[in-house]
Amino acid sequence: MSGHSKWATIKRSKGKADAARGKVFNRLIREITVAARMGGGDINSNARLRTSVASARTANMPSKNVENAIMKGTGQLEGVSYEEVSFEGYGPGGVALLIECMTDNRNRTVAEVRHMLTKHGGNLGQTNSVAWMFKSKGVIRVPKSAMAEDPLMELVLDAGAEDMVLDGEEYEITTGFESFESVRHALEKAKVTPASAEISKIAENPVTVEVENASKVIKLMEALDELDDTQHVYSNFDISDETMAKLGKE
């Protein structure tokens, strides 16, 4: 297991995936606002907005919050103007990092990201130094209790999914960027409610991280993820189950 999957699993095991509910809502609000500003407030004609609103509903965000975020994006309500900015860099063990932020102060965000990378043994890279290693994929997580494995597998593959694997108490479904909507719609039609559904960046060639660097990579990912302006942190690291077990004993 690597990249997105490994980091998502680590966050859940540490109880951090849903603990900071306010931070999750803040990230979703920024995404909805920017999506509405760029493509308009109609979810039927704005695929990015449709995806971000669906994610907000999955996270149980109140409808009023969603409506306000859309109206701020379209200019119907006053609000902070965010811009998207991405950073590329490297962490311990040579792992690649792709950090996506939304900010109202680019200089502040650059300084914070650079500081965290330096503090935890990483460094910023040049534009396109690592972005080419990642591809946009849909990642949908469905609780095991939602549907039996075989019919769920048949359902999502027929809708265009690329793969489905069991990860703990959830199935992780991977789709191509283009088929994400059709798979999500098929689940919705079958009355299957995902635990999460998002467009993610998946590394095609994972880098194996051994024990001496594994904990450093995890601490760096946590530090970057906790920055106020961070939306997503992606990496190409792979940590084996054996290494994870050793880390758990430390």
Predicted pLDDT at 172 = 93
At 142 the pLDDT is 95
Q: What span, in angstroms and rounded, lies between the C-alpha atoms of 109 and 231? A: 12
| Residue 153 falls inside a structural domain | yes
In a domain? residue 26: no
CATH of the domain at 160: 3.30.70.980
Please give the average per-residue pLDDT across 11-17, as a whole number. Answer: 57
pLDDT in tens, 219-228: 999 999 999 9
Does 111 fall in a domain? yes
Mean pLDDT of 88-93: 95
Q: What is the pLDDT of residues 161-219, one digit of tens each?
A: 999 999 888 999 999 999 999 999 999 999 999 988 888 999 988 888 888 899 999 99
Residue 1: pLDDT band by 50, 70, 90 thresholds?
A: very low
Contact 121, 92 (CB under 8 A): yes
Report whether pLDDT(14) > 80.
no
pLDDT mean over 84-112: 95
User: Given this model, what pLDDT does residue 108 score?
Assistant: 96
Specify the pLDDT at position 168.
82
**SS3 of residue 163 by DSSP:** strand
- Which of 219, 215, 5, 203 has the alpha carbon at shortest distance from 117? 219
Supply the pLDDT for residue 3: 45
Q: Are residues 217 and 124 in the same domain?
A: yes
**Per-residue pLDDT at 7:** 66
Do residues 186 and 192 lie in contact, with contact meaning Cβ atoms separated by under 8 Å?
A: no
Give the per-residue pLDDT at 92: 94
pLDDT tens profile 23-81: 888 999 999 999 999 999 999 999 899 989 988 988 889 999 999 999 999 999 988 88
1 is a domain residue: no
Domain span at residue 178? 133-203
Whether 181 and 94 map to the same domain: the answer is no
Is-contact 28 36, C-beta < 8 A?
A: no
Both 91 and 198 in one domain: the answer is: no
Same domain, 174 and 155: yes
pTM for the whole structure: 0.85
Q: What is the reported pLDDT for 53? A: 93
The span from the CA of 8 to the CA of 12, in Å, is: 6
**pLDDT exceeds 90 at position 9:** no
Q: What pLDDT is attached to residue 154?
A: 97
- Does residue 128 share a domain with residue 148? no
pLDDT confidence tier of residue 13, bands split at 50, 70 and 90: low
Q: Quick one: pLDDT at residue 232?
A: 92
Residues 112, 216 share a domain: yes
The number of residues making up the chain comes to 250
Rounded Cα–Cα distance for residues 243 and 245 (Å): 5
Single out the residue of 55, 59, 11, 36 nearest to residue 180, CA to CA: 55
Residue 38 lies in a domain: no
**Mean pLDDT score, 117-133:** 94
Q: What is the mean pLDDT of the chain?
A: 89
Number of domains into which the chain is organized: 2
Cα-trace Rg, the chain: 18
Residue 127 and residue 145 share a domain? no
- Please indicate, yes or no, whether residues 119 and 138 belong to a single structural domain of this protein: no
> Which helix (H) or strand (E) is 118 found in, with range?
helix 106-119
Is there a single domain that holds both residue 164 and residue 177?
A: yes
Both 173 and 143 in one domain: the answer is yes
| Claim to verify: residue 218 and residue 128 sit in the same structural domain | yes
